[in-house]
Amino acid sequence: MKAFCSRKVYSFRVNSKNVCRAGERAEYGNVKKVVNIGDVKIGGEYPAAVQTMSNLPTTDVKAVVRQAHSCRDEGCRIFRVAVYDAASAEALGAIKKSVKMPIVADIHFDYRLGVAAAKNGADKLRINPGNMPKEGLRILARTAKEYGIPVRVGVNGGSLEKKYATTARGVSGEEISANSGEEISANSGMCLEAGVKNSGNQDMRGISRAEALVNSALDGAGLLEGEGLSDIVVSLKSSAAAETVAAYRLAGRLCGYPLHIGVTEAGSPDYGIIKSAAAAGALLLDGIGDTIRVSLTADPVSETRAAVKILRAVGLDRNYAEVIACPKCGRCVHDTEGFVRTVENFTADVKTPLKIAVMGCAVNGPGEAAESDIGIAFGGSGAAIFKYGRVYKTVPTEEAEREFLREIEALKMR
């Protein structure tokens, strides 16, 4: 069996300049294994898939199914539920029957729940090596292989395996072996200076928590591989954006399994979406990330919407209407703020690439509008409507909004 992780990741050390060095170059680089989660493929060249997790008791089957449908309507492609007892494992089977989306069982502590979830039709198991005995992980690996489903090794900064948590605090340092090799940029957050605490994502001594996350995840993946399982997905979540990015960048070089990305416990939507976008956006622009979850203290529909918007913002999903709008200044001669919302609502159903510009004056207006499929630039006495780079028509101000929506409707129908 082809092993998709470079175990050489363990070879970290702090050199004489207190700079971490990794022992080997990535063996895998851009080679990424394809993993099937039900009928959704991730990894390889497949686009990043949006996923979320129910925040309802799994045993409330009707409500969970309703929620899954709402998430699916918003662009979710993989749905996770918590399996915390025998009843929730059984409920997963009932949910599966009514949801046309892969269902992932979130398993902690007790491997028997994972076995029950697999028997009840789970399309993937998510385990955390930090809270399950190794023998339980081995049993789950064999179970997943028997049922032909993948396992996500989901390492979380808040529940790191004890030995890595200890190492990340710089207490032991035994995990850091002496080796020479490629230097890792200090800017990545993966390196640290002994005795210096830096921006919360590094510890006082020893390896950084980002490295500890990677080591723990690859350890877990290696354990599953040892049982013959190769359908593995890896996640390395921290509640800090910089630490999350550092961990995934390292894993992206050293691990050939698909990466499930996201910031864990990102917070309320106001702040959590921004933190998630900062981390996931950086990773996706680097080409890292095969599936994404935005973890908010909010309902999973909001999580799904946020994840979809992140993919759109970095250009990985173009099948929608993107509305470019001027930020407004003293020159603005129209209520573009209100009109942009109108246009966004009017085009929310668009599922093909469409670029729309709404501009408030004649300074940048014509330029931006001209680069869009359709645009409008308001002026003193009227507005110019542009199509594919040319002025299509000019209309009096009082007719401009209605006319612009009519022209957009015509494009939607084409």
| Residues of this chain that bind ligand SF4 (CB under 6 A) | 326-329, 331-332, 359-361, 363-365
> Smallest distance, Å, CB 339 to ligand SF4?
12
β-sheet bridge partners, residue 240: none
| Minimum gap (Å) between residue 377 Cβ and ligand SF4 | 8
User: DSSP letter at 14?
Assistant: E
Tokens for 68, please give them.
């899954």
What Å distances lie between residue 339 and 92, 174, 268, 375, CA to CA?
Answer: 44, 61, 28, 12
Q: How far is the CB of 333 from ligand SF4 (least distance, A)?
A: 7
Question: At closest approach, how far in Å is the CB of 343 from ligand SF4?
Answer: 15
Cβ-proximal residues to 358 (8 Å cutoff; 6+ apart), any chain: 323, 324, 325, 326, 336, 339, 340, 343, 375, 376
C-alpha atoms less than 13 angstroms from C-alpha of 117 in its C-beta half-sphere: 33
Q: In the bound complex, what is the minimum distance in angstroms from residue 23's beta carbon to ligand SF4?
A: 52
Handedness of CA 127, 128, 129, 135 (dihedral sign): negative
Judged by beta carbon, residue 231 or residue 368, the one nearer ligand SF4 is 368
Reduced to 3 states (helix: H, G, I; strand: E, B; else coil), residue 151 is strand
By C-beta, is 136 or 366 nearer to ligand SF4? Answer: 366
Q: How far is the CB of 360 from ligand SF4 (least distance, A)?
A: 3
User: In terms of CB distance, is 299 or 337 closer to ligand SF4?
Assistant: 337
DSSP structure string for 237-261: E-SSHHHHHHHHHHHHHHB-S-BEE
Q: Least distance in Å: CB of 324 to ligand SF4?
A: 10
Of 297 and 364, nearer to ligand SF4 (C-beta) is 364
Q: Which is nearer to ligand SF4, 198 or 364 (CB)?
A: 364
Phi, psi (degrees; rounded to nearest 5) at 124: -165, 150
Exposed/middle/buried for residue 227 (C-beta within 10 Å: 0-12, 13-18, 19+)? middle
Q: Measuring CA to CA, which residue among 71, 138, 133 is closest to residue 103?
A: 71
What residue number has its CB nearest to ligand SF4? 326
DSSP 279-320: HHHHHHHTT--SEE---BSS-HHHHHHHHHHHHHHTTS---S
By beta-carbon proximity to ligand SF4, the closer residue of 85 and 344 is 344
Number of alpha carbons in the 13 Å side-chain half-sphere of residue 16: 0
Torsion angles phi and psi, residue 332, rounded to 5: -60, 130
Residue closer to ligand SF4 (CB basis): 50 or 325: 325
Going by DSSP bridges, is the β-strand pair 382-387/49-53 parallel, antiparallel, or unpaired? unpaired
The conformational region for residue 170 under phi > 0 = left, psi -120 to 50 = alpha, else beta, is: left
Q: Of the two residues 227 and 344, which places its CB atom closer to ligand SF4 in the complex?
A: 344
Task: Give min distance, CB of 369 to ligand SF4, in A.
Answer: 9
Cβ closer to ligand SF4: 130 or 375? 375
Nearer to ligand SF4, 219 or 322 (CB): 322
Minimum distance from residue 238 beta carbon to ligand SF4 (Å): 37
In whole angstroms, give the CA distance from residue 360 to residue 57. 48
Find the radius of gyration of the CA atoms of the chain. Answer: 24
In whole angstroms, the minimum distance from the beta carbon of 358 to ligand SF4 comes to 9
| Cβ at position 359, least distance to ligand SF4 in Å | 5
Closest CB to ligand SF4 among residues 178, 329: 329
A 10 A CB-CB count for 53 gives 18
Beta-bridge mates of residue 127: 153
